[in-house]
Structure 1
Amino acid sequence: MSEPLINVSLYHVLGVLIVLYGHLGIVKGREVCYNPLGCFSDEQPWSCTPERPLAALPWSPEKINTRFFLHTRQNRWQHQIISARNLASIKASAFRTNRNTHFIVHGMGDKAEKNWVPKMCKAILEEEDANCIGVDWHDGSGWIFIYVQALNNARVVGAEVAYLLKVLWENLRYPASKVHLIGHSLGAHVAGEVGRRHQGIARITGLDPARHYFENAPAEVRLDSTDAAFVDVIHTDTGPLIGLGIMMPIGHLDFYPNGGKRMIGCPNKLVLIESVLCHHLRAVDYYLESIKSPEGFLGYPCDSYNSFSYGSCFPCPKSGCSLMGHFSQLPPTLSATPQIFYLNTGGSISRLSRWRYKVSVTLYGTRTFKGRFYVILPAARGATWEYEIVRNGPSYGNTFSGFIDLELSLGRMNHVTCKWKPILLNLFSHQFGAQRIEIQSGKDGKVEELQLKGKLILQKSDPPGCLILAL
């Protein structure tokens, strides 16, 4: 019973610190101008609203020190620094106008070197001959105790990126239609600021965009679907108490893996900072793995995660599902409201992708029993996957279904093993098997049916039996 009290106390302490910060010299109703970026005000909607009670003016560009680290296939292991204020640095670099450009923007307290940012650039360059630019604003990204200052500094960073795009267009005729912005946490809202200032951006991807001071705020101050031709968002830390990610859908396509609140594989103790950051950074992990395994992050359109879990949104509708991550695409037709997608993932880094199937089992047996029924599917290199299909009450002659999320896409199978475990002990005379097993793919709805071939193999509770052979 003590942990929730500790969590609430921590949350309140952070709130008090932010309020104290707001009373230490913050003056509302002011404006600062930084050539050539323009002017920045601390008036509404940037502050003095229910969503943004505290005000702060952004630091100067010199203090924030935004830098652009260019990676290409010619220099993927060592970035080149380019600057909008030094055109020669761009012309002398490996930047090429015939390629698409991906900007990657980190969030609060982070940086763009020796971490996930160059790692993501290298992964993208493995798949595409592109310009990949890490946007480093470490000096201005702050930390939790100056969060209000950091989120206002993000406005200057967005202006810096927009100014670079302006220079690229005016001098090299490089269009915004070749630009993709990827931002994590506060970096997602930096990307939104870029799109607001520089029209025609092709795509913005928000990786768990920051919540505080952005949830329910006007579109002008946060990432929004109007900021690019295509805006896709991955939500991974929307828990109600101390979640760092925005809850509301803000893009054209919004993905909520595992429901969007608590990510599989992250520690469960909410008081641990590494636990909170694990959920918040999982969006980065999903995006990274999606570059190599795009089909393993298929999002299903659904009203809620509960409906998705119960199978109400399975298989993909005629309009199709959408891929989450690097290969996400703008659908042929857009609705007036954001389209929301759900999916399940794995919990181990490099094994996060999953393929969803529906397994239906028609049982055969000597009598009704209470217990659990499992199917065991063959995997690669002689391994197997075991999944519970029925809990508490199968009976012979009936068909039961369950949904499973596999580490790999299933090919054609020639056998499935099943087993059951009774609830009560000493029921060894009860024998069960399966007459038919159907496996339906979520992606295309195709069904593979495996039926009994030859003699039915009945099975006691142990060892596994009930071998079903495909015809």
Structure 2
Amino acid sequence: MDVRRVALVSALFALLAVIAVKLYPYYPSGRVGVVFYSCTKESQNREEFKATIEGVASLKIGPSTPVTVIVHGYTESSFRSWIIDLTNALLTIEPSSVVILVDYWDLTTLSRPYMAENVRLIANQTAALLDLLTQEKELRLSKVHLIGFSLGGRISGIIGDRVKAGKIGRITGLDASYPWAKSPSSAEFLDASDAELVVNMRTSPVGSQSPPGHIDFYGNDGLLQPGCDKWYFPNAIKNTCSHYRSVFMLIEAVQNAHKRLFPSCSCESWEKIQTKLCDCQVINHFGLYLDENTHGTFYCATNAESPYSRPLGV
């Protein structure tokens, strides 16, 4: 290898090292495991707590307290800006609620077999936490709302399946992913059996294969979102842009919860929406306050930029 090539390879590795350090404040070790944080309207900062009797003793949770549990996606942490924005929006719209953040960054690995095992570990520990809260704080599972993005959506489904105290009130899957490899159990993805109400928002190929919930929303065709098609890079970048659109749609919906944004038409397919073969007599609205009794598949057209919500037929 000549000097010029050695210099080029060295520079490339140095650049990758700098990018890695800038992107990740620390590297996953697996030693820390799952970390839980609680957030309330009263407290200015999140507070870490342990899933033990002593750890949950100070949590301001009672039988009537609305509790939202947020589970982030693969290669993320609970410190992502979208989680902070969603948490603030939830606490603004429901000031008496408690938001619990599930942070599994330290269990992230590129090994699919190991990550599959870690996913079960994350779900087991979070399910055990919810069971503990029902025992020690008299939390009603009907007041619990799990929100999971991407891999977090799939983890939420497993959590719902493994809670022993009863059935969780609601799970919202944000482009919830399907298992990377053949799963040993049908319980290892998000489906309608995992909570009293399972709501999906599908915006990219990542979430297109997961099983149906009770209410399934599709942003446009559920594959490529307006504004993401202007990217000049490969499809993976377009898919990532579309994938995260589900997150920003929920934040917008929560921030404007009482306006009932994202009106969506009940229809068999996006093609029928486009060709006006659906009369849209049955509609629902994606967000916190949807019509829980109107089940089925719904499609909503969105704008390419924020605000993403747009009226039906526009």
Under a length normalisation based on structure 1, what TM-score does the superposition of the two structures give?
0.56
8 A Cα contact 2:62 2:139, kept in partner: no
* Alignment-mate amino acid for residue 63 of structure 1: R
Distance 1:293 1:216, change over 3 A: farther
Q: Does 1:150 align with 2:115?
A: yes
More strand by share: 1
Q: Does 1:262 align with 2:219?
A: no
Alignment partner, residue 384 of structure 1: none
Distance 1:112 1:140, change over 3 A: same
8 A Cα contact 2:178 2:189, kept in partner: no
8 A Cα contact 2:71 2:156, kept in partner: yes
Per the TM alignment, residue 150 of structure 1 is displaced from its structure 2 partner at its CA by 2.1
8 A Cα contact 2:171 2:197, kept in partner: yes
Distance 1:186 1:96, change over 3 A: same
* Alignment-mate amino acid for residue 195 of structure 2: A
8 A Cα contact 1:107 1:141, kept in partner: no
- Which among 170, 175, 178 is matched to residue 203 of structure 1? 170
- Which among 302, 305, 313 is matched to residue 345 of structure 1? 302
Q: Does 1:355 align with 2:305?
A: no
Q: For the residues of structure 2 that align with 1:261 and 1:246, how far apart are their CA atoms?
A: 7
Alignment partner, residue 281 of structure 1: 244
Per the TM alignment, residue 347 of structure 1 is displaced from its structure 2 partner at its CA by 1.4
Q: Does 1:301 align with 2:258?
A: no
Per the TM alignment, residue 188 of structure 1 is displaced from its structure 2 partner at its CA by 0.7
* Alignment-mate amino acid for residue 300 of structure 2: L
Q: Does 1:177 align with 2:138?
A: no
Alignment partner, residue 115 of structure 1: 81
- Which among 95, 107, 114 is matched to residue 140 of structure 1? 107
Per the TM alignment, residue 149 of structure 1 is displaced from its structure 2 partner at its CA by 2.6
CA deviation profile, 1:44-68 (whole Å, cap 9, x unmatched) = xxxxxxxxxxxxxxxxx96361111
Q: CA RMSD in A?
A: 2.3
CA deviation profile, 1:224-274 (whole Å, cap 9, x unmatched) = 100000000011112xxxxx2233542011111111010111244452754
8 A Cα contact 2:51 2:129, kept in partner: yes
CA deviation profile, 1:260-296 (whole Å, cap 9, x unmatched) = 0101112444527543321111110111101133533
CA deviation profile, 1:39-95 (whole Å, cap 9, x unmatched) = xxxxxxxxxxxxxxxxxxxxxx963611111111111x310112212x233222444
Alignment partner, residue 10 of structure 2: none
Alignment partner, residue 330 of structure 1: 292
Distance 1:94 1:173, change over 3 A: closer
Distance 1:215 1:292, change over 3 A: farther
Q: For the residues of structure 1 that align with 2:312 and 2:66, how far apart are their CA atoms?
A: 32
Q: For the residues of structure 2 that align with 1:164 and 1:232, how far apart are their CA atoms?
A: 22
**Counterparts of 1:9-158 in structure 2 under 5 Å?**
63=31, 65-75=33-43, 77-85=44-52, 87-129=53-95, 130-142=97-109, 145-158=110-123
Q: Does 1:292 align with 2:237?
A: no
Identity %: 26
SS state of the match for residue 265, structure 2? strand
Structure 2 unmatched ranges of 5 or more: 1-28
Q: For the residues of structure 1 that align with 2:138 and 2:69, how far apart are their CA atoms?
A: 18
* Alignment-mate amino acid for residue 187 of structure 1: G
CA deviation profile, 1:185-225 (whole Å, cap 9, x unmatched) = 11011111111111310000100011353799853121110
Distance 1:216 1:265, change over 3 A: farther
Q: For the residues of structure 1 that align with 2:208 and 2:117, how far apart are their CA atoms?
A: 17
Q: For the residues of structure 2 that align with 1:92 and 1:126, how far apart are their CA atoms?
A: 22
Q: For the residues of structure 1 that align with 2:309 and 2:148, how far apart are their CA atoms?
A: 21
Under a length normalisation based on structure 2, what TM-score does the superposition of the two structures give?
0.82
Q: For the residues of structure 2 that align with 1:148 and 1:64, how far apart are their CA atoms?
A: 19
Per the TM alignment, residue 322 of structure 1 is displaced from its structure 2 partner at its CA by 1.2
Q: For the residues of structure 1 that align with 2:157 and 2:32, how far apart are their CA atoms?
A: 18
More helix by share: 2
Alignment partner, residue 189 of structure 1: 154
8 A Cα contact 1:141 1:154, kept in partner: no
* Alignment-mate amino acid for residue 47 of structure 2: Q
* Alignment-mate amino acid for residue 312 of structure 1: L
Answer with 153-162 or 294-303: which moved more.
294-303
Q: For the residues of structure 2 that align with 1:346 and 1:311, how far apart are their CA atoms?
A: 19
8 A Cα contact 1:103 1:133, kept in partner: yes
SS state of the match for residue 31, structure 2? helix
Per the TM alignment, residue 356 of structure 1 is displaced from its structure 2 partner at its CA by 1.8
Q: For the residues of structure 1 that align with 2:250 and 2:216, how far apart are their CA atoms?
A: 14
8 A Cα contact 2:179 2:189, kept in partner: no
CA deviation profile, 1:397-423 (whole Å, cap 9, x unmatched) = xxxxxxx2xxxxxxxxxxxxxxxxxxx
Distance 1:348 1:187, change over 3 A: same
8 A Cα contact 1:103 1:135, kept in partner: yes
Answer with 113-122 or 194-203: which moved more.
113-122
**Counterparts of 1:391-430 in structure 2 under 5 Å?**
404=314
